Chain A
Amino acid sequence: MELIKTAFFGSTKSKVQLIGVIAALVILFLSPQFLNTYMPNFLAKLIAYVVLSLSWTIFSGKTGYISLASAAFYGLGMYIEALFGMNIPLPVVMVFAAAVAFAVAFGVGVVTLRLRGVYFTIFTFGLALFLQKSILWIEVKFFHTKGRMVLAYSNEAVFYCVLVVFAILIFVVILMNKSRFGLALDCIGQNEDSAQHIGVNTTMTKVLAFAISAAPAGAVGAAIGTSIGYVDPDIAFNMLLSFLPVLMAIFGGMRSMYGPIVGAVIFFVLQDYLMREYANLYMIIFGAVMVVVILFMPKGIFGLVDKAIAKRQRNFDGEVIGDVK
């Protein structure tokens, strides 16, 4: 209770943030009324990207353990919808998909997160491939098929389902940033030894955060699955979706929660535009943009904003000392 108070009403800044977030959610909620029927589909996929990059940041952005398992959780969600969607309504399946993603991530975390270093990244990358190949094997061996049809829902229904996930996620992130748990994750990212010294149960904190960050990916996977209509292991466990959240978060900047959101929006719009206009060159242009970003703005768009603000403040003080790092 005290946490909710400080996170949402603790300072002027947090109050402004709360009003801004609620306003943005209300506008998004009402937007299908004013848009053509294609737009909700576009927005649903856009928000799914935002959810993927924001939920990735919960764990990897804070602790520095790079997870490449987004595709695994997203794909699990899609497949669960394909299996149960015919009989069970989408929101229920989404909750179930989130729970499964949470449980799988928890298990993976317990096995790998006691170790430091790159093992975790390698394992998570392997996880997506493992799920892809083993589900493909099961499909071919026992069901003599490669993929499954998914029950379609209206664009608007999918949009609202994804929006609800986003709304829950953003409030969870705000709360986490102000909580003891979030602080512990920051500690682990900055100095894991110290975190242990001050009494953080580092393994448990990491495992729990990784599991929490997996759940939204599973939920949006289930929702987006319905808008594709057909799912097979190659579509569901698309490895690009493991790398995209990382790139989007870096592109936006990970210091604030707005970085991954803005990064994902720009990425998705750019991707959508390039795919339509320059379908053959899309990946080349995309790659070039990414290289430029890493070279010239290693802290992302929000890093640039910080830099500009710092520069301005120095100008006001009347002393400009070199470049602001």
Chain B
Amino acid sequence: MAMLEVRNVNVSYGNVQALWDVSLDIEEGKIIALLGANGAGKSTLLNTMTGMLKPQVGTITFKGERIDNLPSDKIIEKGIAYLPEGGRLFPDMTIKENLELGAYPSKLWKTRKPDLERIYKMFPILGERKNQLSRTMSGGERQMLAMGRAMMSNPKMCFFDELSYGLSPVMAQEVFKIVKHLHAEGITVFLVEQNVHQTLEISDYAYVIENGRIVKEGEGHSLLDDDYIKQAYLGI
């Protein structure tokens, strides 16, 4: 049994169905990727997995327990962190406040101080500038802060939405390096990306989503050699 299982999930916005019978597995200790173009349903699926949307049909289980009917804060308490697209920081708060908010759910709030020290050790630059407002940071630094915030809840699994979006190629590489580092520390990673090449290189297994349906899946490296992927996503 996989750590997180999505089974036959259908999600609609009113009359418009966005996800059709989506199933996927996230195995413990792996890096799993979900690839797709704009509007394919990536963010909808993530929002469903984090409790922001409820599936009309289908189930989501984490370690055998159903989470599709839980609110976001309860899901975070179970050990799933979510790094939304663009980081979604709080611009007029300091770095420290932004980080503390990563431990918002009440169980985590009590241990926020040692957690902060842990994050400062992980990203020393955040510790040096803890009283700076987050809107005065560069794009890469913001992404780092967003990662730090996600790590505050001491997660067992982390979802990354469009991690490399809007970053320079160098910075994107840097960010992927951090993801690998987090993975090495034992965090199960779920990457949702448009940056197909770099993502497939570091992921163990990947799913491709189009028009709300999973159309292809396979091991990261094997998908890199797949003709369809090459044609549709890599432009080779």
Instruction: Identify the A interface with B (CB < 8 A).
Output: 180, 183-184, 186-187, 190-191, 193-194, 196-201
Chain B residues packing against A (C-beta within 8 Å): 50, 52, 71-73, 76-77, 82, 84, 88-93, 97, 100-102, 104-105, 109, 149
B88 touches A193 (CB 8 A): yes
Is A200 in contact with B90, judged by CB distance below 8 angstroms? Answer: no
Contacts A180-B109, A193-B84 given; does A198 touch B92 at CB 8 Å: no
Q: Is the pair A199, B73 in contact by a Cβ cutoff of 8 Å? A: yes
Q: B84 and A183: CB pair below 8 A?
A: no
Knowing that A190-B93, A200-B73 are A-B contacts, what are 11 other residue pairs whose CB atoms are under 8 Å apart, sorted by A's residue number? A180-B109, A183-B100, A183-B104, A191-B89, A194-B89, A196-B72, A197-B50, A197-B88, A199-B73, A199-B76, A200-B104
Asked, given contacts A196-B72, A199-B73, A201-B73, whether A191 binds B109 with beta carbons under 8 Å apart, the answer is: no
A190 to B44, CA, bound (A): 22
Minimal beta-carbon separation of A186 from chain B (angstroms): 7
Contacts A193-B84, A193-B88 given: A198-B93 contact, CB under 8 Å?
Answer: no
Q: Are A194 and B90 in contact (CB under 8 A)?
A: yes
Instruction: Please judge, given known A-B contacts A199-B72, A199-B76, whether A194 and B88 are in contact too, CB under 8 Å.
Output: yes
Selected A-B contacts with CB under 8 Å, 26 pairs = A180-B104, A180-B109, A183-B100, A183-B101, A187-B90, A190-B91, A190-B92, A191-B89, A191-B90, A193-B84, A193-B88, A194-B90, A196-B52, A196-B72, A197-B52, A197-B72, A197-B82, A197-B84, A198-B76, A198-B104, A199-B72, A199-B76, A199-B77, A199-B105, A200-B73, A201-B71
- Decide: A186 and B76 in contact? CB cutoff 8 A: no
Q: Which residues of A contact B104 (CB under 8 A)?
A: 180, 183-184, 198-200
In the assembled complex, which residues on chain B have CB atoms less than 8 Å from the CB atom of A191?
88-91
